[in-house]
Structure 1
């Protein structure tokens, strides 16, 4: 066992029901009054439903500037397009890491009329020096996401960061992100060393997980987010049922944040300029 200082749960946040786009129903986790942000993370939404009426309207054309959006599909198919000519199809298990940079207008529309649609969208801030970069995409099909079994009963999809010698395909030097999709068989446990200096959270989306060591461990239920703190040695244990969670961490930027809707800048003046540029068609 590592002698690293144990990580522990600082806070537990429950998701809030919400809707976005043209009425897509989702659970809003980061970006709520309870947790406005967790530097460098600005927002986390979980969407998941078997009811087509909850997702068919999708997310029609909308702008972004100054940050990144990370879409991870668990079930369903989502077609995305933007005003720079980029287009692609997100299928189950795929991930898209979009750097909006200086600005684009894009849409995300379901490419199915029935069945389950489930996944996450995470917003990650960009440092001031990169807010006006050219937009770009890092998009990977499920077969490009490595999967490892670091302990008995534990399976991990490595989207960003690393587990042992296995690294995920997403690279972003500014925030050096970690993004793991972890499945724990009933009763199984796993220890993982978090990146030094990062802010981290665990969000449970199936079952329940005990987070932390010994008597200080706290139970985190389905649809709850645990903000992590303390040391780097994280212990996760499933209860009587299989559990699944995402573990996400990033280097904090520690810069002022000026945000409104789909624009995230450092000053009010930059925010106002973003609205002007969008209205005048400069995206």
Structure 2
């Protein structure tokens, strides 16, 4: 396994005072086609109870994965869903979405989850929005004899002789995501993925690379193109695998809008201020 770059998440806030750990990629240098990785992990309600009140998006995709706790999602398309532990939600915002994400009042055991932003090809940024979640078709999971569990959050994955296919298949830039859990003293090896950009985000425990480097939670390992995946752990670990093909296009970003040019950003702001994104239902 060849590591090209190591990034570290940093503490920040978003929404109504929600404490998160973030790795941004709006410069397009390392994460492309991903734009941002936000992790919310806390057993203290004060860190997340403000939630994310109604806000707009245009030109990007949001990918939400909940490990513990949950959020209620609402949007102007009429979707209202409780996204709980193990659930995945994908929203390709296209030409405009208004949504809110608020903590579920019955989730008393803390909250651990992700919202990951994925860029869209310029030609697709003004298409109609798409919403999908796994509440009725849970993400498939397989545990091998070596104590490694892979959950296919989006796309298709191969673990030994078993193919895992998520119901979420149409992310931009051929993006795919999986969650891997390793028990203490175990190892996982995967052949090189077909996507050009493959990254490992450690969300629990710590990993040991083949050269015996140890990486703690909060680290993002960006692999060399064509690298295999070879990870082990001494005490246990949870790892997100993110894969996608770089779009290699200009990124114009302002708040919840991600377009290709500043003129498109200005148009997005104008359209939102004039009510063209609709109203939260």
**Length-normalised TM-score, structure 1:** 0.90
Q: Is the CA contact (8 Å cut-off) linking 1:37 and 1:43 kept in structure 2?
A: no
- For residues 194-232 of structure 1, what are the alpha-carbon distances to aligned partners after superposition, in whole Å with 9 as ceiling and x for unaligned? 323421111111111123x4x3x5322111111111433
Tell me, yes or no, if structure 1 residue 184 matches structure 2 residue 174.
Answer: no
- Deviation of 1:169 after TM superposition, in Å, equals 1.9
Structure-2 residue corresponding to 1:47: 40
Structure-2 residue corresponding to 1:4: none
3-state SS of 1:53 partner: helix
The structure 1 residue matched to 2:83, chosen from 65, 83, 90, is 90
The residue correspondences of 1:186-265 to structure 2 (distance < 5 A) are 186-211=184-209, 213=210, 215=211, 218-239=213-234, 241-265=235-259
Structure-2 residue corresponding to 1:65: 58
Taking the aligned partners of 2:140 and 2:75, their CA distance within structure 1 comes to 28
Structure-2 residue corresponding to 1:170: 168
Change (3 A) 1:41 1:151: farther
- For residues 24-80 of structure 1, what are the alpha-carbon distances to aligned partners after superposition, in whole Å with 9 as ceiling and x for unaligned? 1111123489x8751100000000111111111110011000010000011112111
Q: RMSD across aligned C-alpha pairs, in angstroms?
A: 1.9
- Deviation of 1:138 after TM superposition, in Å, equals 1.5
**Length-normalised TM-score, structure 2:** 0.91
3-state SS of 1:207 partner: strand
Q: Is the CA contact (8 Å cut-off) linking 1:76 and 1:112 kept in structure 2?
A: no
The ranges of structure 1 where at least 4 consecutive aligned residues each deviate by more than 4 angstroms after the TM superposition are: none
Structure-1 residue corresponding to 2:15: 21
Taking the aligned partners of 2:192 and 2:17, their CA distance within structure 1 comes to 36
Change (3 A) 1:168 1:150: farther
Count residues in correspondence: 272
